[in-house]
Amino acid sequence: MLSTLANRMYYAAYHAVMALLIHNKLHACTHLGVSVLLNKHFVKEGVISTDESRLFTKLEALRESGDYNCYIDTSEDDLLPKLQPTKDFINHIKSLVR
C-alpha cells in the first residue's frame, strides 16, 4: 500500500510539473527530461525552490523503489512527512499556470 502512495504522490507532482512545462511551451520525453527542464527553467531562475526540486527528485526515487525494487519497502517515515510538502508543491505550480 505504501508503494502505491509513493507512486500516486510522485505522479501527482510529475503531472503538475508537466503542466508547468507545457504552459511554458517546454517539452520533455522522459522523466529525467522533466527534471532537467524543471531545474534549468524554474529552479535556476528562482521560480521553484531548491527544496521543492529536491522533494520532486526524492518522490521519484521513492516511486521507483516501490515500483521496481521488491526487496526494499517504502516506510511511513519516508512518505508521510512528504505528503503536505507535495501538496504545497503542486499548489505552487498551480499558481504558476493560472
Segment 38-80, tens digit of pLDDT: 999 999 999 999 999 999 999 999 988 866 665 556 778 888 9
Q: Report the alpha-carbon distance of residue 64 to residue 45 in Å, rounded.
A: 28
Mean per-residue pLDDT for 14-40? 97
Three cell numbers at 3? 508503494
User: What pLDDT sits at residue 76?
Assistant: 83
Pick the closest to residue 68 from 12, 13, 6 (CA basis). Answer: 6
- Which residues are CB-contacts of 39 (< 8 A; sequence separation ≥ 6)? 53
Cβ–Cβ < 8 Å for 55, 85: yes
What does pTM read for this prediction? 0.90
Report residue 66 CA to chain centroid gap: 15
Mean per-residue pLDDT for 22-36? 97
The percentage of residues in the chain with a pLDDT greater than 70, rounded to a whole number, is: 92
Domains of the chain: 2-97 (1.20.120.330)
Three cell numbers at 65? 523503489
Q: What is residue 45's DSSP assignment?
A: T
